[in-house]
């Protein structure tokens, strides 16, 4: 996985955004102006909206459609894989070290290359629908063991289908959004009746989100062989969870207030095309999935993931766990195929959460629920503080990348901070 080309923009080997990546986002300049589409390259954002106005996207798929002026990426996503490939080819060519068109035009560079420090990132998509899967065998086993014991950890259906539930899209926010500690009903151990108040068991969940590109018509399922063609790319996703509210409310229909208060995603959408060199086999699936979920070839991605925690008393974040996307038992293609097999229609900009990603070792568990084993084994931080669950003022940052030979395909960060509870 060596770097295939280089940019005239200096990019360090540790940067998340080399020319091999080119993730898409939506931004505003700090000094004013509307929302523009862009791609990240090193420490800069390339303004696609301005490039489009200047006629740079003149190929057969993009020339008359002008998808980058809408302030969100949905119009671009709806054009499909050929348009995505055409745009990536145009952008990559403009940024190459041996291409003079942008490199040698100082006025143009000043107009379309903006330091990332001078922009504010926005939610890149209008997210119409959001579904969250439960696709990590290790996570499901850990949680099931806590609730039902090791012999009944997995529900009978778990190895036969990608379990999921429909979530709240309106409370999805972009990295950097702080949120108040949620309130709701909880039922303390031994109590006869529930009480109302702030959650005492606030948690993060290390996930990734798949961004749907071209959707499907109602009643027309997406075949698994074509599923990846319907996914534009991936983002980091933190599905914050109030565990004590969830424990009281989830029977019989599942999570509600415990999940709907906030979900954080990273601002940059990394395309599946950029991740293609890192496609790997996922876990062996036993029993063999039903035919509509059966696939051939590598179906997962080798993406290193980390979670960092910084309390109000710490001067820097501390890594508290590391996992990998390739640990997911159910693949992205299987999630898409199952989501649509009954006839559900996906639409451009829809988001599919992977579910918490946990690995096989205790330091790879993707939630505090698992890392502290339901609070029984608190984490001790470098300054001596301990955490069973998140406290007010705590900031959690998700990050991740696929590591190539001398370059990274990175996702940036997804950060959120817990504030005092809302009144």
pLDDT digits (tens, 9 = 90+) for 308-327: 999 999 999 999 999 999 99
Q: Are residues 375 and 305 in the same domain?
A: yes
Q: Residue 89: CB partners within 8 Å, gap ≥ 6?
A: none
| Domain at 208, CATH number | 3.90.850.10
Residue 14 lies in a domain: no
Tell me: do 271 and 232 sit in the same domain: yes
Whether residue 422 has pLDDT greater than 90: no
Strand bridging mode 231-238 / 206-212: antiparallel
Does residue 117 lie within any of the structural domains?
Answer: yes
Residue at 4 is within a domain: no
* Those residues with Cβ within 8 angstroms of residue 138's Cβ, 6 or more apart along the chain or in another chain: 327, 358, 359, 360, 364, 365
On whether both 169 and 282 belong to a single domain, the answer is yes
Single out the residue in 80, 105, 122 at which a domain terminates: 122
Nearest residue to 88 via CA among 42, 25, 26, 19: 19
Say if 290 falls within a structural domain. yes
The overall average pLDDT reported for the chain is 96
Structure tokens at 379: 């984490």
Neighbour tally for 420: CB within 10 Å: 10
Q: Is the pLDDT of residue 72 over 60?
A: yes
Q: Is residue 1 part of a domain?
A: no
Known active-site residue 16: no
Q: Provide the number of structural domains found in the chain.
A: 2
Q: Are residues 39 and 161 in the same domain?
A: no
pLDDT tens for each residue of 351-398: 999 999 999 999 999 999 999 999 999 999 999 999 999 999 999 999
Q: 139, 230, 338, 339: which is the annotated catalytic residue?
A: 139
Average pLDDT over residues 140-167: 96
> Which stretches of 291-397 are DSSP H helices?
332-340, 368-371
pLDDT over 80 at 238, yes or no: yes
Contact 304, 214 (CB under 8 A): no
Q: Does 179 lie in the same domain as 270?
A: yes
Half-sphere exposure of 116 (CA within 13 A, CB side): 18
Q: Where in the sequence is the domain holding 345, given as residue range(s)?
A: 130-419
Label residue 4 by pLDDT band (50, 70, 90). Answer: low
- Judge if 176 and 93 occupy the same domain: no
Last residue of a domain, one of 102, 122, 142: 122
Does 227 lie in the same domain as 290? yes
- Domain shared by 102 and 220, yes or no: no
Alpha-carbon separation of residue 391 from 201, 258, 386 (angstroms): 9, 16, 10
Q: Are residues 55 and 175 in the same domain?
A: no
**Hunting for tokens 């009954």 — which residue is that?**
342
Token pair for 72: 């969100």
How far is Cα 415 from Cα 423, in angstroms, rounded to an integer? 24
Indicate whether 116 and 137 sit together in one domain.
Answer: no
* Residue 103 within any structural domain of the chain: yes
């Amino acid at each position: 996985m060596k770097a295939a080309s280089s940019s005239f923009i200096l990019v360090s080997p540790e940067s998340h955004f080399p020319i091999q990546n080119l993730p898409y986002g939506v931004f505003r300049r700090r000094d004013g102006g509307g929302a523009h589409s862009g791609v990240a390259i090193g420490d800069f954002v390339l303004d696609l909206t301005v490039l489009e106005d200047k006629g740079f996207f003149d190929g057969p798929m993009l020339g008359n459609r002008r998808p980058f002026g809408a302030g969100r990426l949905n119009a671009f996503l709806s054009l499909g894989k050929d348009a995505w490939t055409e745009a990536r080819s145009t952008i990559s060519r403009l940024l190459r070290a041996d291409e003079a068109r942008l490199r040698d035009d100082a006025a143009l560079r000043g107009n379309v290359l903006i330091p990332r420090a001078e922009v504010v990132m926005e939610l890149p998509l209008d997210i119409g629908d959001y579904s969250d899967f439960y696709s990590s065998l290790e996570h499901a086993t850990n949680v099931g063991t806590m609730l039902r014991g090791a012999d009944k950890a997995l529900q009978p259906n778990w190895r036969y289908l990608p379990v999921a539930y429909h979530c709240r899209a309106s409370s999805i926010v972009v990295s950097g959004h702080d949120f108040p500690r949620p309130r709701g009903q909880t039922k303390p151990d031994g109590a006869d009746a529930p009480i109302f108040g702030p959650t005492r068991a606030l948690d993060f969940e290390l996930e990734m989100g798949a961004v749907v590109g071209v959707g499907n018509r109602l009643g027309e399922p997406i075949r698994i062989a074509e599923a990846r063609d319907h996914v534009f790319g991936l983002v980091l996703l933190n599905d914050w969870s109030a565990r004590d509210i969830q424990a009281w409310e989830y029977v019989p229909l599942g999570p509600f207030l415990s999940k709907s208060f906030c979900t954080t995603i990273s601002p940059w959408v990394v395309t599946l095309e950029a991740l293609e060199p890192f496609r790997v086999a996922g876990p062996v699936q036993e029993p063999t999935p039903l035919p509509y979920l059966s696939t051939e070839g590598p179906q997962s991605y080798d993406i290193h993931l980390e979670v960092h925690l910084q309390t109000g008393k710490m001067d820097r974040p501390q890594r508290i766990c590391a996992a990998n996307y390739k640990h997911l038992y159910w693949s992205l293609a299987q999630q898409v195929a199952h989501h649509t097999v009954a006839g559900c229609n996906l639409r451009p900009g829809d988001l599919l959460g992977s579910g918490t990603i946990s690995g096989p070792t205790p330091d790879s568990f993707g939630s505090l629920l698992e890392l502290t084993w339901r609070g029984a084994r608190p984490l001790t931080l470098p300054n001596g503080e301990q955490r069973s669950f998140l406290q007010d003022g705590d900031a959690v940052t998700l990050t991740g990348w696929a590591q190539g030979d001398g370059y990274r395909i990175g996702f940036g960060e997804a950060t959120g901070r817990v504030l005092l509870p809302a009144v």
